[in-house]
Structure 1
Amino acid sequence: MGMQLRTGHLYNNILTLPNPSSITSFSSFLKRGSNLVGGERRRRYGFRIAASSNATTTPFWDGWKPDKASASPSLSDILWPSAGAFVAMAMLGKMDQMLAPKGISMTIAPLGAVSAVLFATPSSPAARKYNMFVAQIGCAAMGVVALSIFGPGWLARSTALAASIAFMIFTRSAHPPAASLPILFIDGAKFHQLNFWYTLFPGAAGCVLLCLIQELVSYFKDNFKF
């Protein structure tokens, strides 16, 4: 019955003729009827249409493809970061020779990851100087504390990693390479003698050198393109 009343009301609106003086032509009358019918359909089915238009489906394989919006890198965009990484690791290697009598190495794996962040994605949040140094110092300290409490083993590693992630989230200093520093300290007996000096060396100290080289890489990328 409700449907009949609604339909009757709709067609009464269509068939009720206004003052003949206000109708310019028969086509305007038909247009009025079409608008009323279309409005009724939109009112009745508008929610369903809106819901279907707002639904966004992302294909599963899109996450496995390169970003379509990014332009293809030029040769200079590839060469200068690669050259910067080579120079950085070469300088760290020469420093290793100087520190060899003390049994300490500057060519640690986290600094390789830092090089990739600084040279390949310099505009990413992880490449911010605040994120890098706060995370490097804080995460290294987590490793020292975890080792002193739990000793070497799985409990110290898992606790230090969890604390490092919590620290980076709390301080808003997300820098993924720093998360490997506490595990490196716990498993690397040659670093135990540093104790809390490990918070500054070799991670933070190596990052100072990498930041200087990054500035050179950025200069060459901006001024020597090919």
Structure 2
Amino acid sequence: MRYFCKMKGSGQCPPRVSGSEIFWSWLGAFLGVAAVALLHYPFLEGTGLLLIVGSFGASAVLIYGAISSPLAQPRNLLGGHVLSALVGVACYQLLEPHLWLAAALAVATAIALMHFTRTLHPPGGATALIAVIGGPEIHDLGFWYVLLPVATGAVIMLVVALLINNIPANRQYPEFWF
């Protein structure tokens, strides 16, 4: 019975954030994703190279909307994505005939490695999964997936986060680097 009681939760819903916080989160996310997308679509579309992956949307939530979270810090953003991309590509290449196993192993191993290295960044799990399920455009990149789109896109979004998140007096990013 105690097991099921834990599922009720024990806390309250967090308080609403201010309109200013919503605005700066929106602006950061818009500019960060726009910067990556503006470099991707005109210059890389149709080349077989990528600069944008779905997990960047989740990163935007953290680095622009939850900037004080340990999960949103530069160490976590960069380390989480890069390590997870490495794990995802390796799992795909080792287990390609068994995609269900490659997908599960990639995500689980990425989480374990992020914990071990203190770089936990939830979108990293998606980055690892995308390396496995992403299709030919992703698979053809091999380990280049780690550098382009993952590392390069994350760095671009980080630069935007550093510039935008520090404009208002009441916001500071990052809380820590290492």
2:136 aligned with 1:179: no
- Alignment check: 8 A CA contact 1:110 1:203 kept: no
Cα 1:100–1:59 change in 2 (3 A) is: closer
Quick check: which one's helix share is greater? 1
Q: Tell me what 1:91 maps to.
A: 35
Runs of 5+ unmatched residues, structure 1: 1-57
TM-score (norm 1): 0.66
Give the CA deviation at 1:61.
Answer: 5.3
| Mapped partners of 2:91, 2:50: distance in 1 | 22
Q: Tell me what 2:105 maps to.
A: 159
Q: State the one-letter code of the partner of 1:60.
A: K
Give the CA deviation at 1:171.
Answer: 1.0
1:54-80 Cα offsets, whole Å, 9 max, x none, are xxxx993544x423xx5x432211111
Which of 60, 78, 81 is the equivalent residue of 2:8?
Answer: 60
| Mapped partners of 2:148, 2:121: distance in 1 | 17
Q: Tell me what 2:82 maps to.
A: 137
Question: What is the RMSD of the two structures over their aligned residues, measured on CA atoms?
Answer: 2.3
Q: Tell me what 1:117 maps to.
A: 62
Pick the structure with greater CA Rg: 1
| Mapped partners of 1:205, 1:87: distance in 2 | 16
2:158 aligned with 1:214: no
**Which segments of structure 1 move beyond 6 Å, counting only runs of 4 or more?**
none
Q: State the one-letter code of the partner of 2:77.
A: M
Aligned length in residues: 164
Runs of 5+ unmatched residues, structure 2: 1-5, 172-178
2:22 aligned with 1:75: no
| Mapped partners of 1:128, 1:75: distance in 2 | 23
